[in-house]
Structures are given as structure tokens and as C-alpha cells.
């Protein structure tokens, strides 16, 4: 497979910053997506990276290093509602299908 790896779970405090890492196989890489998913609900789009560097969108930022096969999602000013699973997904070659990592379950504590 494409060996997309991310931590299984993380815990952080309300108001803090958390970084969720993702590593992936680089061969055939086309782009990397981050999705947020609450239990039983559909994944919702957070960010997309295809070039090296940082993409910022409000409280969420995502970074990509294509040579290292590495990305992270940075969440600032954490809120209780940010407790969810965060999925790293990679698009390989052409076709547009997404290969998902196993997801990182983030728990935000008061």
C-alpha cells in the first residue's frame, strides 16, 4: 500500500496548539488532503497541499515536504468542538481517488 501513517490519538488543552503529523510513500504523489471527521459523519475538507510549504486557513494550517513524504496539520486556539478524527489522505498518480491514513483521534480537554 501507500503506507500513510499518522498517530492514532492525541490529547490537547482548550486554547492550545496541536500538530498532527502524517508520513506517506512519495512515489506517484499527486497531492495531500486533510479532512476532519466527527463520529458517524462524513469527512469534511480542511486543506489541500500539492507544493512544498505552508497553507494557512484561519485556525488551521497544513505543511508539506514532498521530498520527505511528510505533512502536518496545525490547529491553533483549540476549541472543544475540534475534538474529532483528523484524516490525512493522499492522491496518487491520476484518477483522483484518495488513500486515507487511519486517522488521528484528537481529544480537546478543558
Partner 1 sequence: AAGVIQSPRHLIKEKRETATLKCYPIPRHDTVYWYQQGPGQDPQFLISFYEKMQSDKGSIPDRFSAQQFSDYHSELNMSSLELGDSALYFCASSPQDRGELGTEAFFGQGTRLTVV
- Sole binder of partner 1 in the list 27, 58, 67, 94 (CB under 8 A): 94
| Region for residue 28 given its phi and psi (left: phi exceeds 0; alpha: psi -120 to 50; beta: otherwise) | left
Nearer to partner 1 among residue 37 and residue 65 (C-beta): 37
Report CA 11 to chain centroid distance, whole Å.
15
- Considering CB under 8 A, how many residues would be counted as binding partner 1? 26
Euclidean distance between CA atoms 55 and 82, whole angstroms: 19
19 near partner 1, rule: CB under 8 A: no
30 near partner 1, rule: CB under 8 A: yes
Residue 5 DSSP class: B
Q: Which residue has the cell 484518495?
A: 98
- Sole binder of partner 1 in the list 41, 52, 56, 77 (CB under 8 A): 41
Q: Which one of 28-36, 55-63, 64-72, 74-82 is the stretch in contact with partner 1 (CB under 8 A)?
A: 28-36
| Region for residue 59 given its phi and psi (left: phi exceeds 0; alpha: psi -120 to 50; beta: otherwise) | alpha
Min CB(110)–partner 1 separation in Å: 25
Site for partner 1 in 48-67 (CB under 8 A): 48, 50
Amino acid at each position: 500500500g501507500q503506507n500513510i501513517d499518522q498517530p492514532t490519538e492525541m490529547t490537547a488543552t482548550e486554547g492550545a496548539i496541536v500538530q498532527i503529523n502524517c508520513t506517506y510513500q512519495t512515489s506517484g504523489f499527486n497531492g495531500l488532503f486533510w479532512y476532519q471527521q466527527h463520529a458517524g459523519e462524513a469527512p469534511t475538507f480542511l486543506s489541500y497541499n500539492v507544493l512544498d510549504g505552508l497553507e494557512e486557513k484561519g485556525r488551521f494550517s497544513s505543511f508539506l515536504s514532498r521530498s520527505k513524504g511528510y505533512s502536518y496539520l496545525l490547529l491553533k486556539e483549540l476549541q472543544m468542538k475540534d475534538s474529532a478524527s483528523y484524516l490525512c489522505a493522499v492522491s496518487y498518480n491520476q484518477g483522483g481517488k484518495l488513500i486515507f491514513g487511519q486517522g488521528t483521534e484528537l481529544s480537546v480537554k478543558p
